[in-house]
Amino acid sequence: MTTHDPTYPPPRRLKPWTTVERGLAKVGISGRMLVLAAPVLWLLVFFLVPLAVVFGISLATKQFGRPPYSPLLTTEEGTVQLTLHLSNYIRLFTDNLYVAAYLSSIRIAAISTILTLIIGYPMAYAIARAPDKWRNILLMLVVLPFFTSFLLRVYALTGFMRGNGVINQFLGLFGIEPLVMMQTDFAVYVGIVYTYLPFMILPLYTTLVKLDVSLFEASADLGARPLRTFLSVTLPLSMPGVIAGSMLVFIPAIGEFVIPSLLGGPSTLMIGRVLWDEFFTNTNWPRAAAVAMAMLVVVVVPIMLLQRAQSSVVEK
């Protein structure tokens, strides 16, 4: 015979959050929805709404005054009138400047991406294959430049490349004429490759470090020389890293503004600079907005292509 202990089980004490949760559940809101709501709200307020505003401005025309563009909606004698100007978009196609700037941006971004891949791959491979105790130090060295200002780093490059800069002074010791490097496309490539290299190395490193060494050994064991092993085993298996790294370099490089303005010359045409000029020099907000919208499309298409390539690689 056991007597029932009235104090056992003890009454469950409700935590404050549980009360809130139950209250919310009554109106049909679960905790899961709240958690999801935070990023949705963030994107809505700081991305979608501003994007809609920019899109709206791109459909207006330039006007003197404040704001410097025509209103979309006008009220006249009791009727609301919506005026949409497509002239900005038409201009993008008819004026060679914009098409040339887009093409040039894509070309510069693509070449820079290939260059960072060529330089970054061996570095990532070396770090992934380095002894454990070295690996973190080497990775640290790759990330270290992020601890200094981006602007400073790009500006410091001028010290190397200008007419009487470090490189030309060094070449001068051997009696070589100074090279013209600043204000050229070459300088822009150096700038982009230098600043974006870590974005290529890090995703490459993460895929390479996960590869099982015995796969390389198996390849060698089956008669493949090192180059064949690289082409048939290492490279295909590191494709997810190659694609991720390429996206991380290519996408921001298209819209790059600081590097071409600091290092590039007047002939270096990039869409970021055109945008700046339209906005600040010409104060043509609607034109600038149209350029920005078009750039979004230009960037989204390669992202989608690369993402499709990546998902097909990962599927394997």
Partner 1 sequence: MAKKSQQLAVDTRPWRDPGNNKPFVRIKNVTKKFGDVLAVHDVSLDIYRSELFCLLGGSGSGKSTLLRMLAGFESPSSGTIEIDGQDMTDVAPYNRPVNMMFQSYALFPHMSVEQNIAYGLKRDHLPKGEINDRVAELLSLVKLQDYGRRKPHQLSGGQRQRVALARALAKRPKLLLLDEPLGALDKKLREETQFELVKIQESLGVTFIVVTHDQEEAMTLATRIGVMNLGEIAMIGEPTDIYEFPNSRFVAGFIGSVNMVEGVVTEDEPGHVRIRSSELGCDIYVGHGVDCAPEQLLWWAVRPEKMVLSREKPHTDHGANVTTGTVEEIAYLGDISVYQVALESGKRIRVSQTNSIRGKPDAITWEEKVYLSWDDQAGSVLTV
> Does 262 participate in binding partner 1 (rule CB under 8 A)?
no
Q: How far apart are CA 101 and CA 257, in angstroms?
A: 12
Give the residue, chosen from 237, 259, 291, 295, that forms a contact with partner 1 under the rule CB under 8 A: 237
How many residues sit in the footprint of partner 1 (CB under 8 A)?
Answer: 18
> Does 207 participate in binding partner 1 (rule CB under 8 A)?
no
Q: How far apart are CA 110 and CA 102, in angstroms?
A: 12
- Contact range with partner 1 by CB under 8 A, out of 66-74, 195-203, 225-233, 248-256: 225-233
Six-digit token pair at 251?
Answer: 């996408």
Q: How far apart are CA 6 and CA 3, in angstroms?
A: 9
Six-digit token pair at 288?
Answer: 């600038």
Closest separation between CB of residue 221 and partner 1, Å?
Answer: 5
> Does 152 participate in binding partner 1 (rule CB under 8 A)?
no
Give the residue, chosen from 2, 3, 214, 267, that forms a contact with partner 1 under the rule CB under 8 A: 214
> Does 309 participate in binding partner 1 (rule CB under 8 A)?
no
Six-digit token pair at 66?
Answer: 């404040």
> Does 95 participate in binding partner 1 (rule CB under 8 A)?
no
Six-digit token pair at 263?
Answer: 């290092």
Give the residue, chosen from 24, 51, 119, 233, that forms a contact with partner 1 under the rule CB under 8 A: 233
Q: Which is nearer to partner 1, 183 or 229 (CB)?
A: 229
> Does 221 participate in binding partner 1 (rule CB under 8 A)?
yes
Q: How many of the other CB atoms lie within 10 Å of CB of 275?
A: 20
The single-letter code of the amino acid at 268 is T
- Contact range with partner 1 by CB under 8 A, out of 108-116, 156-164, 228-236, 258-266: 228-236
Listed in sequence order, the DSSP H helices in 144-284 are 150-161, 166-172, 185-210, 213-221, 226-229, 235-237, 239-254, 258-263, 271-276
Query: What residues make contact with partner 1 under the rule CB under 8 A?
Result: 212, 214-215, 217-225, 228, 232-233, 236-237, 316
